[in-house]
Amino acid sequence: MPKLLRTISEVSDFTSLYHLVNRRIGLIPTMGALHEGHLELGRKARKECDCVIYSIFVNPIQFGKGEDLERYPRDMKGDMEKLDSVGADAVFAPETAIMYGKDHSTFVDTGRIGRILCGRTRKNHFRGVATVVLKLFNITGCDQAYFGKKDYQQFVILKKMVRELDLPHEIIGIDTIRDPDGLAMSSRNSYLSDSQRKSAVSIYRALSKAKGNLLKYKDKSDLIRDTRSVIEKEKSAEIEYLEIRNADDLSKIKSLKTGKKFVLMTAVKIGGTRLIDNIELN
């Protein structure tokens, strides 16, 4: 079993020897309720690092009012067993009070890029993500950290943070892991009823259809309209946004023909459950 670390000094004690002899530490930040997507990050880290540390922390400062902080799924025992199977060395699972004192007031401001797309409805979400990730970088002193491109905006924002704050850590992204029917794996999929789960498959169906038909479109608004209509065939689906952005910096694109890498990104509510997904268009 991986070693369970509850405090910052336990993490320091655990990592000190690795630091002393210059061994590579890989970090995988998560909120737990782990699935294959999370485990795939660890398998990659296992190949590349001497020490693999997962963090499991449902980070309150990245949740807004009325979001699912209280009911977010938690399964520490199951998570530890899964992490044993990928050969993780340690799990840092702190209580909230360890991470944030009562008067905590220092945050990473992610700027405009944190206010577009998901940031439009989830105010302060990326501020909370960047703050906890920077803390986890400092606590573990990791050399590299692994993130899923399923959370594409988060991935781009964290890379920008590392670049702009001159952090020594390397951000490594992995492709989205999906269920056999295409639905992107997510801890929040457990909120879906059977019929909602079936409707949710329309998200990936729509994104892959858009990618397959990309060359047929001259105008990006036609592509967006047709993609929306695939999702909207499902009565329970409500699109929060569906946008094509520049894959490197998430800036808006004028046309589909610039030869750059694009990413088609969406957030869709199925019933009350908010799901995100994206597909890279080259």
Contacting positions for ligand AMP (CB under 6 A): 30-31, 37-38, 41, 147-148, 150-151, 174, 176-177, 184-187
SS3 label, residue 222: helix
Distance of CA 272 to the CA centre of its chain: 20
- Integer CA distances (angstroms), 144 to 41, 78, 114, 141, 262, in order: 12, 25, 23, 9, 26
How many CA atoms within 13 Å lie on the side-chain side of 204?
15
Residue 71 CB coordination number (10 Å)? 8
Does residue 35 have an active-site annotation? no
Q: Give alpha helix (H) positions in 96-191.
A: 96-99, 118-121, 125-140, 152-164
SS3 label, residue 248: coil
Q: Which is nearer to ligand AMP, 223 or 275 (CB)?
A: 275
Provide the minimum distance between the beta carbon of 158 and ligand AMP in the complex, in angstroms, as a whole number. 9
Q: Which is nearer to ligand AMP, 176 or 236 (CB)?
A: 176
Provide the minimum distance between the beta carbon of 133 and ligand AMP in the complex, in angstroms, as a whole number. 9
Q: Give alpha helix (H) positions in the chain.
A: 8-20, 36-48, 76-85, 96-99, 118-121, 125-140, 152-164, 194-212, 220-232
Instruction: Mention every residue, 6+ apart, whose C-beta is less than 8 A from residue 13.
Output: none
Q: Which is nearer to ligand AMP, 184 or 231 (CB)?
A: 184
Provide the minimum distance between the beta carbon of 190 and ligand AMP in the complex, in angstroms, as a whole number. 12
The residue annotated as part of the active site, out of 19, 35, 38, 125, is: 38
Q: Which is nearer to ligand AMP, 135 or 150 (CB)?
A: 150
Q: Which is nearer to ligand AMP, 137 or 147 (CB)?
A: 147
Angle 194-195-198 (CA atoms, 0-180°, nearest 5)? 90
Structural contact between residues 54 and 142, judged by C-beta atoms closer than 8 angstroms: no
End-to-end CA distance of the chain: 41
Residue nearest to ligand AMP (CB): 148
Specify the DSSP class assigned to residue 268.
E
Q: Which is nearer to ligand AMP, 45 or 237 (CB)?
A: 45
Could you tell me which of 170, 143, 176, 141 has the C-alpha nearest to residue 158?
A: 170
Q: Which residues are catalytic?
A: 38
